[in-house]
Amino acid sequence: MNRYAVFIDGGYFKKVLKEFKKPKVSYLKFSNIVANGEERLRTYYYDCPPYVSLHPAEKEKQMQAGFDRFKKNLEMEPRFQVRLGRLARQETSDGVKYVQKKVDILLTVDLLKLSIEHQINRAVIVAGDSDFVLLYK
């Protein structure tokens, strides 16, 4: 039997869910659906905690608390692991924007490690980054 792992870029997945007006999803059910009858080694969920300033406003505190609850619940699922990057605040001419840092590299390292060690035969990558697209003939 083949064994697979699921790698989810949380920032991307949340955007997709928002577009489809699906505020909540079972990450465990999703991971098992993409299994296609194969054994799931683990699901890795990559994200960044919300940006919190040096003197956080009440909204920042609430966002952090919500993220902490979400992370704790996800880690309680069987064979799930949460990996965190960081959220960088960037000042631009259009205002302020927030950018994920280290998420792609964490995903890549985990994928390579599991592949090299022959722990998985297949990987399911849920990300919007074109760097992860492989073309097969």
Find out whether 9 and 128 touch, Cβ atoms under 8 Å. yes
Query: Domain for residue 93, yes or no?
Result: yes
| Residue 57, token pair as written in the block | 């406003």
Domain span at 61: 3-132
**Residue 137 forms part of a structural domain:** no
> Residue 58: exposed, middle, or buried by beta-carbon count in 10 A (0-12, 13-18, 19+)?
exposed
The average pLDDT across 22-50 equals 90
CB 107 within 8 A of CB 44: yes
Residue type at 29 in one-letter notation? K
Q: How many domains is the chain partitioned into structurally? A: 1
- Burial, 56: exposed, middle or buried (Cβ in 10 Å; 0-12, 13-18, 19+)? middle
What residues contact residue 28 under an 8 Å CB cut-off, 6+ apart? 43, 77, 78, 80
Domain of 86: which CATH number? 3.40.50
Q: With bands split at pLDDT 50, 70 and 90, how would you rate the model's confidence at 1?
A: low
Confidence of residue 120 (pLDDT cuts 50, 70, 90): very high
Give the model confidence (pLDDT) of 9-19 as tens digits. Answer: 998 898 888 88
| Model pLDDT for residues 78-113, shown as the tens digit of each residue | 999 999 999 888 888 888 888 889 999 999 999 999
Residue 66 lies in a domain: yes
CA distances to 48, 72, 112, 130, 137 from 118, in Å: 28, 29, 10, 25, 24
Q: Alpha carbon of 125 to those of 43, 96, 97, 101: distances in Å? A: 10, 29, 25, 18
Global pTM reads 0.88
Residue 101 covered by a domain: yes
